[in-house]
Copies of this chain bind each other. A is one copy, B any other.
Amino acid sequence: MKLTILRGELNEAIQHVSKAVASRTTIPILSGIKIDATYSGVTLTASDTDISIQSFIPLETQSKTVATVTRTGSVVLAAKFFVEIVKKLPNEEVHIEVGDRFQTLITSGATEIQLVGLDPEEFPVLPSIQEDQVVSIAGDLLRDMIRQTVFAVTTNESTPILTGVLWNLQEGTYKFVATDRHRLASRSATVAATDVRFSNIVISGKTLNELAKIVPDQNVLVDIVVADNQVLFKLGNVLFFSRMLDGTYPDTSKIIPQQFKTELVINTKALSDSIDRAYLLSREEKTNIVRLVTLEEGGIEISSSSSELGKVTEQLSVKEMRGEPLRIAFNSKYMLDVLKVIDSEELLIGFNGAMSPIIIRPNDHDRSLHLILPYRTTN
């Protein structure tokens, strides 16, 4: 392998794939980045076996020559050093030449780097995915859907299936659900009419966080290809492969109440600010318990207390209040997580007494729905 490539483009591709480099592994090859040079372009690949990312650098763009391949070939280089050094090379042009036993010479300006390369044959082979089940979604929307659900996955590895987000696609409606058994977040969206349908696909929350970082800011379409136990996301020249989580996701549809004994319509920011203040005190008690009480004279009272520090109490006006009076306690951190991802100005909260799930959703659409279980306190 022998090639010349522009540092900026090489660095960009490295940044993309480096998110899939195994950080703690006993298998040296997984801590590397594979470079494949052909006469059509240069491909970088990294894989920790759960996720794999591939970035293709074409030899030319409309405006300039990006890379020149003099001899095709492949090599795997230790990511940790390679990622850092390419950023700091002195010259815009970088030459890479692989010699005997994958010894790799990188030169740029007066800098000469000899690197121990690894055998690309040992690198994991990426899954081959048949592209007959493709659905396209706007990158912004995909990122929003991830952001509005992924915070509710569990971090507890004893229920591995709940560390992922459930994806369903039925009749053009895409739906994401996440729950850790104390709360639930769901988000749906309509995608362009398509024959594709799938159900019970579960993708790791960590993977989705990495994916969200890689989705470009420009609002481009992301192609999603679903195969046996793999999902492939195509983002222009970047391919992002993820394994699905094994197991059956619990049926959450039955726990969501359709009617409420008490309903509040309230300004999202006012409620968020108020609960944030109560949370500050509640977290000193490690419980995060905040109380919400409806007031006879209208409005609600939000409060929390700490035996050591004191008490926060505040009254909040609501836009609408329907149904029975209420006194309920909940985890304020969970509530803040929800309020952070609701983009609408007003939200609706529904209750069925102090012991039943709390439902929160935007007041202007029903594409988002959040559930929090209350604390069962005695006072």
Contact = CB atoms under 8 A, between A and B. Distances in A.
Contacts of A80: 284
Q: Is the interface on chain A under 10, 10 to 19, 20 to 34, or 35 or more residues?
A: 20 to 34
Interface stretch (A17-25, A83-91, A177-185, A329-337): A83-91
B312 A113 contact: yes
A111 B309 contact: no
Contacts of A85: 277, 280-281, 312
Interface in A286-331: 308-316
A116 interface: yes
A312 B88 contact: no
Contact of A311 (B114, B273, B276): B114
A266 to B, nearest CB: 14
Contacts of A195: none
A110 interface: yes
Copies of this chain in its oligomeric complex? 2
Nearest to A81: B309
Contact of A277 (B88, B281, B310): B88
A208 interface: no
B308 A116 contact: yes
Contacts of A314: 109-112
A280 B88 contact: yes
Contacts of A311: 113-114
A78 interface: yes
Contact of A111 (B78, B104, B114, B277): B277
Specify the main secondary structure of chain A where it touches its partner: mixed
A221 interface: no
Contacts of A308: 78, 116
Given A81-B281, A110-B314, A280-B84, A116 B309 contact: yes
A222 to B, nearest CB: 34
Contacts of A115: 309-310
A112 B312 contact: yes
Interface in A97-122: 104, 109-116
A281 B104 CA distance: 15
Interface string A108-149: 011111111000000000000000000000000000000000
A365 B8 CA distance: 37
B309 A88 contact: no
A277 B7 CA distance: 15
A89 B310 CA distance: 16
A106 to B, nearest CB: 9
Contacts of A284: 80-81
Nearest to A316: B110
A309 B78 contact: yes
Interface string A264-278: 000000000110110
B315 A110 contact: yes
Interface string A326-365: 0000000000000000000000000000000000000000
Contacts of A112: 312-314
Interface string A247-282: 000000000000000000000000001101100110
A315 B109 CA distance: 9
Contacts of A84: 280
5 contacts: A85-B280, A88-B280, A89-B277, A111-B313, A113-B312
